[in-house]
Homo-oligomer: A and B are copies of this chain.
Amino acid sequence: MLAERFAIDERRTIDPEPMGACRDGQPNLIGFARSLSRDQQVFTAGDSADFRYKVISGGVCAVHSLADGRRQIIEFNLSSDVFGVEVDAAHRAAAEAICDTVIISARRPSLAEHQPDGLLRHALRELQRCQDHLLTVGRRTAIERVAVFLIDQAEQLGPHDAVTLPMSRQDIADYLGLTIETVSRALTQLQARGLVRIDSRQVRLLSPAALTQLCE
């Protein structure tokens, strides 16, 4: 609670070092860099959506939560991902760093109004991911959820058969709609079956085919 408040206030003190745009798939952004430590918030639900952001290093997650503290992580945004795009004037989810992270922020209209198609693609792709994730959370077992998660991460982050996960077990649990204990057990079980090798946050996929098959 206190930590959150602090983070919100902190948001106003933006590191004034200007930074150029990057040249990768995602929309370009020119703005100010800001570094965050683990769990620090970029914004909360309800904050006005004047800015859009891009991850430079580390990662950020979008979180929806219920009054009693149950959390659902909607998506992870890793290096070069753009986040914080909204239809309305306010953010609907909180965004917080999953590890030490650097982002750049830009005032709303400076991004991609000159390439509206890019924004549309961005939104539709995010929609795709959300829909796929809905199937996972709604209909897959714990083991299956963890398996798809590992495959996704490996695809996105690594040389396809090895990843270093940037997020904690708790974050994985909140993303997959499970508890931290169930995630842990699923990981050990996947390892016991010889499908992966886990060393804390280092994951090696020993049998990507079998892993994929697990997810149908």
Which residues from chain B contact A87 at a C-beta distance below 8 Å?
A: 121, 124-125, 128
Within 69-99 of A, Cβ neighbours of B (below 8 Å) are at: 70-72, 74, 85-87, 92-93
A120 closest partner in B (C-beta): B120
Number of copies: 2
B135 touches A138 (CB 8 A): no
Q: Is A16 an interface residue (CB 8 A)?
A: no
For A126-137 the 0/1 string (1 means CB < 8 A from B) is 111011111101
B134 touches A133 (CB 8 A): yes
Closest Cβ of chain B to A7, distance in Å, is 21
Within 111-156 of A, Cβ neighbours of B (below 8 Å) are at: 116-117, 119-121, 123-128, 130-135, 137-140
Shortest Cβ-Cβ A-B pairs, 8 listed: A138-B177, A67-B216, A87-B124, A64-B135, A72-B135, A72-B138, A123-B123, A70-B139
